[in-house]
Amino acid sequence: MEPLRILLIADDPLARAGLAALLANDLACEVAGQASSESASTAVTDCQPDLIIWDVGWEMAENEGEFPQTAVPVLALVPDETAAADLWAAGVPAILPREMDIEKIMAAATAVSQGLLVLDPEIAAQLLPQPSPLDFSLAEDLTPREQEVLQKMAEGLTNRAIAQTLAISEHTVKFHVNAILSKLQAQSRTEAVVRATRLGLISL
């Protein structure tokens, strides 16, 4: 598999350099370029990345900076839930806290590059509609293996990545994911993670 070409965007040069250093030894990705938000559009054209990781600093969040208008998927690293709400409303498909560790950032990057939506569970709890008490209950206890799969779902891993991590087949992962959705009465992976977080079934 070709490494994921990533464009790093941040107005703080230290933030860009820090992300680049963290990603430098990851064989799954290649830092295709770095840019400020002002030069983001030009950088996208020049670098032709597979994914943008955009570190939304406090200053940009307070000034309501806009994310790059591009067909390239964007993974935003945000300072707080307010910035996350603005980005989610603008259509950014992946949002994580700035302090998230690099392994989870890369797991999310892989997922969003494959067309998935990725939200940190705590951010998702703030952004997504709250379920009513009547439909928010655990229909049946999760098995230990389902708990493991659910935790990996919360980390943003794809079914293939979960299978590799847990040394089981991708078919088995799909079976467990379907069982988790059913037991949590959820319509999507994101909703399942949000409900599991509120029930205290997973830790972040």
192 and 163 in a common domain: yes
- 20 inside domain: yes
CA atoms within 13 A on the CB side of 193: 26
110 and 32 in a common domain: yes
In tens digits, the chain (204 residues) has pLDDT values of: 688 999 999 988 998 999 999 898 888 889 999 998 888 889 999 999 999 999 987 655 444 445 556 678 899 998 877 778 878 877 788 899 988 888 888 888 888 888 888 888 888 777 766 554 434 556 678 999 999 999 888 887 888 889 999 999 989 999 999 999 888 888 888 888 888 877 777 765
- 112 inside domain: yes
The domain boundary residue, chosen from 122, 148, 179: 122
Distance separating alpha carbons of residues 82 and 74, to the nearest angstrom: 18
State pTM to two decimals: 0.62
137 and 118 in a common domain: no
Closest CA to 124 of 79, 190, 54: 190
Closest CA to 40 of 52, 22, 57: 52
What are 4's two structure tokens?
């994921």
Distance separating alpha carbons of residues 168 and 166, to the nearest angstrom: 6
Helix axes 189-198, 170-183, angle to 10 degrees: 60
Domain of residue 154 covers 133-198
